[in-house]
Chain A
Amino acid sequence: MLLNDLDILKRLVDPDPTKRIVVTPLADPIAQIGPSSLDIRLGAGFKVPVSSQTPAINPYKEPQSAARYMREVDVDNRQPFYLHPGEFALASTLEYIHVPYDLGCRLEGRSSWGRLGLLVHATAGFIDPGYSGNVTFELFNAGRLPIELKPGFRMAQLCFMTLSDVPGIPYDKRPESKYHQMLTAEGSRIWKDR
């Protein structure tokens, strides 16, 4: 069951820490809280692919090929980051989030950006119960003109849904979890797959 606005808000101040959703900072609640979602913003760190020295990504035979693939680009808050047509970049949310054990969370795009051809995740829109940290956007410009992005833009929305029950092993307790407590845009760690 999808949580509505009031249920999300109750969870944000729930006195029980195991039930509490964390989304901080919530800089403009009236703009950010939708009927069943909560908008999140773009942070100031980006990563862009560097292909000139890597012939192909082969995560299992050559783990460094995946690690080397993305290069960090720091953007001053007053400067834009231009995402050109057909380009891909990773970015971090401004918000730090925590999903309690009894909820699942989905990262969804916003219609206003979608209509310009901007995708906010390539394929991974699900955030597991127990996850804490900043969320990484997988930005792709599918349109025909460059898009000017600035830290603080409302890029996407989070939806929360109740689970049938608390999972046996939540994300933060699972040794295989690769992206727990990330604070910046993180490149793929696919080589850690078994």
Chain B
Amino acid sequence: MLGHCSNYRQHYLQHAPTIIKVLQDAPISPIEEIGLKTLFRNCIGTFLVLHELLLFLPRETLRKELHFFCEELFRPAYDSDDLSVILTSVYNAFEYSLDSALRQSDVFLMKVPDPNKLAFGHVMELAIIDRDNPLSWPILAHEFGHYIDQKFTITDPLTETFIDTELKVPAAQRAHFRKLFKPLASELFADLTAYYLLGPVAILPIVNMELTFGMATEKPIPYDGVHPFTSTRLQVITDAAAADQMTLGLFGMYTQALNEDELAKVSKLPQAEQKERASVRQYTTFFAQRLRGVFLEEIARLNLSRFQVEHFQTAEQLRISLESGIPIGCKRRVADEVIGDRISRLTRTAPIAEIREVFELYREIPVRVAEVLTAAWIANTGRKVKALTDAFALGDISGVFPFLRQSLERQDALVMKSIEMISVIKEMVSAPQ
């Protein structure tokens, strides 16, 4: 932001001779007058836009746990201040360029720009209502995917190659196919980046959002020309996870709910629309299947930390502690049964070195944030029906929503505490006392 403003310093210096003339009441030429007016208008415009943006922003800061989440997943981009996250007042997560936001703000109508029309860049929005909701933070990993796609120009050339070599379309139709596939490629790449960093649960906040809001409408979510249908996106991630040996029982509930909802709604549409949707599904699925592997290879080149099957297994173990109400930021390397066996055989007369060796078995090491979030999503998915059953079994209808709220907030608090544990211990290890 300051970098953008500093450009004006240069512009002012360039126009300094004209400014001096004006200050001295000396005559200036019509060209100098236009130049000066443009400079003032742009400069004032920028500051008004900055003011406008600040005015519309919520007055809340990001949580320190979210900073750690971004640092662990997105470094070194996040460390180098190349990337920032802000909270927004809308139920939205978006990733955009600040320059684009400044250019498109309508200062005179005092409107913030429509994020959907902004170019991708390096500012990631998070809805303020998700500030304390860590299960929604994986959406930022999707937005990070757009950032790296933009920064390293990944999907555009790959899509071009796909159109030329796989589809083999005539030159006259290439523009049409580019328009069709480029936004899709960008979204699929972002989904796969989130999957690469956080594992299969990275798609669940998006699915959850659609289940929450989409189910409230009579019509199926329309195809916007950019995002594939959520069920297709879920299928892409399920396929990727299966290829990585991650079995996703937890997805069954989501897949079933999404498919049933969509089928019921689509069946009420006119035949022509049904046919069109089937065609969209067909070509997005084909496109995703063809490019999934290539996209993952491209992400792998960026030296990001990949979520793999062993992390998924750790998460499944951590879920048990989380469901018992215990924070899960750390784990022991050795199973409790093994330690129990060693300590029970230890005598008080054993050499000090041997006793300390047993002590060492109790050491807990920090897990990954991605493992914590995966454990929380698994627990959350399995818990929903039980939580609802327990809440309605209370007998007091006024107590149902407070009960559900308490249950949800408790898990969020446990996840936050787990992230705090990871960050404190990692910092201790990097800077020993």
B344 close to A10 (CB less than 8 A): yes
Contact of A183 among B327, B361, B364, B433 (CB under 8 A): B327
CA of A33 to CA of B247 in the docked complex: distance in angstroms?
A: 40
Q: When A13-B339, A43-B424, A94-B421 are in contact, do A183 and B414 touch as well, CB less than 8 Å?
A: yes
CA of A5 to CA of B428 in the docked complex: distance in angstroms?
A: 24
B343 close to A6 (CB less than 8 A): yes
CA of A66 to CA of B416 in the docked complex: distance in angstroms?
A: 26
B425 close to A78 (CB less than 8 A): no
CA of A96 to CA of B364 in the docked complex: distance in angstroms?
A: 13
Which label, helix, strand, loop or mixed, suits the secondary structure of the A interface? mixed
B417 close to A28 (CB less than 8 A): no
- Residue B40 at the chain A interface, CB threshold 8 Å: no
A9 close to B433 (CB less than 8 A): no
Contact of B423 among A15, A41, A44, A154 (CB under 8 A): A44
**With a CB–CB cut-off of 8 A, which chain B residues contact A142?**
none
Q: Which of B53-106 contact A (CB under 8 A)?
A: 63-64, 67
Digitize B358-402: 1 where CB-to-A-CB distance is under 8 Å, 0 elsewhere: 111111101000000000000000000000000000000000000
A29 close to B344 (CB less than 8 A): no
**With a CB–CB cut-off of 8 A, which chain A residues contact B359?**
9, 29-30, 33
B340 close to A15 (CB less than 8 A): yes
Residue in chain A with minimal CB distance to B61: A74
- Residue B200 at the chain A interface, CB threshold 8 Å: no
CA of A33 to CA of B67 in the docked complex: distance in angstroms?
A: 32
A26 close to B362 (CB less than 8 A): yes
Q: When A44-B424, A77-B424, A94-B421 are in contact, do A152 and B433 touch as well, CB less than 8 Å?
A: yes
A96 close to B433 (CB less than 8 A): no
Digitize B403-414: 1 where CB-to-A-CB distance is under 8 Å, 0 elsewhere: 000000010011
Which label, helix, strand, loop or mixed, suits the secondary structure of the B interface? helix
- Residue A134 at the chain B interface, CB threshold 8 Å: yes
- Residue B114 at the chain A interface, CB threshold 8 Å: no
CA of A27 to CA of B422 in the docked complex: distance in angstroms?
A: 10
B343 close to A30 (CB less than 8 A): no
**With a CB–CB cut-off of 8 A, which chain B residues contact A14?**
340
**With a CB–CB cut-off of 8 A, which chain B residues contact A94?**
420-421, 424-425
CA of A10 to CA of B359 in the docked complex: distance in angstroms?
A: 11
In this complex, the member of B63, B364, B410, B416 whose beta carbon has the largest number of chain A beta carbons within 10 angstroms is B364
**With a CB–CB cut-off of 8 A, which chain B residues contact A151?**
420, 424, 427
In this complex, the member of A30, A134, A181 whose beta carbon has the largest number of chain B beta carbons within 10 angstroms is A30
**With a CB–CB cut-off of 8 A, which chain B residues contact A29?**
359-363
Q: When A94-B424, A96-B327, A152-B428 are in contact, do A25 and B343 touch as well, CB less than 8 Å?
A: no
A6 close to B346 (CB less than 8 A): yes
**With a CB–CB cut-off of 8 A, which chain A residues contact B364?**
24-27
B326 close to A9 (CB less than 8 A): no
Instruction: Name the distance in Å between B71's Cβ and chain A's nearest Cβ.
Output: 11
Residue in chain B with minimal CB distance to A97: B326
CA of A10 to CA of B427 in the docked complex: distance in angstroms?
A: 29
CA of A78 to CA of B430 in the docked complex: distance in angstroms?
A: 11
- Residue B134 at the chain A interface, CB threshold 8 Å: no
Instruction: Name the distance in Å between A98's Cβ and chain B's nearest Cβ.
Output: 8
Residue in chain B with minimal CB distance to A25: B330
**With a CB–CB cut-off of 8 A, which chain A residues contact B344?**
10
CA of A41 to CA of B330 in the docked complex: distance in angstroms?
A: 14
**With a CB–CB cut-off of 8 A, which chain B residues contact A15?**
336-337, 340
Interface residues of A (CB under 8 A from B): 6, 9-10, 12-15, 22, 24-30, 33, 41, 43-45, 74, 76-78, 94, 96, 98, 132, 134, 151-154, 181, 183-184
Interface residues of B (CB under 8 A from A): 63-64, 67, 325-327, 329-330, 336-337, 339-340, 343-344, 346, 348, 355-356, 358-364, 366, 410, 413-414, 416-417, 420-421, 423-425, 427-428, 431, 433
Can you sample 18 A-B contacts with CB below 8 Å? A6-B346, A6-B355, A10-B343, A14-B340, A15-B340, A24-B421, A25-B330, A25-B421, A25-B425, A26-B363, A27-B425, A29-B361, A29-B363, A132-B325, A151-B420, A152-B425, A183-B327, A183-B417
Closest 8 pairs between A and B when the two form their complex, measured CB to CB: A25-B330, A152-B428, A77-B427, A25-B364, A29-B362, A13-B336, A13-B340, A29-B359
Given A13-B343, A24-B421, A94-B424, 8 additional A-B pairs, CB 8 A: A25-B330, A26-B330, A27-B330, A27-B425, A77-B423, A134-B417, A151-B420, A181-B325
